[in-house]
Amino acid sequence: MKKATDTLYCVKCGSDSLVKDGEKAYRCGHCGFTYFHNAAAASGAIIVFNGKILLLERALEPSKGKLDIPGGFVDYHESNEQALSRELYEELQLSVSDSDLSYLFSYPNEYLYKDVRYYTVDSFFELILKAEPTLILQQSEVSNFYWVDPKTLNLDDLAFDSCKRALTSYLG
């Protein structure tokens, strides 16, 4: 897959006959292979301690330097909760169990990565902490973390629409 203006090559037969077929499908005119660019699942945690919300500064594109809600993409065979527990451990070395996570809502998002636009559906969970955690950042992905007072939160500092909508709903 490459950006829409480039030639698209079939991942099955390698020919340059891949053409868009409807909103999210690409069909190979040579071998008939059809690739569906479906929405991917992702999970995020609104982590609250002492009235403040944990936000991460992104170390990578897209939106490097902007703030993000902890979380990430769901892998094969994972639930949203399992993916989120895994991501929180990978990104922050924060250990949580699935039962600590309370589902809130989901919002769609678009994620431009290396010139390909991915569509996601981001499920958000609330995680209330009773003690301040010791966080060890995965520095390849996260450059800093902040406990943000909702009163001083500027939504323009956030990387993604889904996160802005989630925090607006949560704080509204």
Give the residues lining the site for Zn ion (CB under 5 A): 10, 12-13, 28, 30-31, 33
Please identify, using beta-carbon distances, which residue of 11 and 128 lies nearer to Zn ion.
11
Min separation Cβ 36 and Zn ion, Å: 15
Q: Least separation, in Å, of the C-beta of 116 and Zn ion?
A: 19
- Residue with smaller CB distance to Zn ion, 10 or 74: 10
- In this complex, which beta carbon is closest to Zn ion, that of residue 13 or of residue 155? 13
- Residue 4 CB, shortest distance to Zn ion, in Å, is 18
Nearer to Zn ion, 30 or 164 (CB): 30
- How far apart are CB 35 and Zn ion at their closest, in Å? 9
Token duo for residue 142: 């996260």
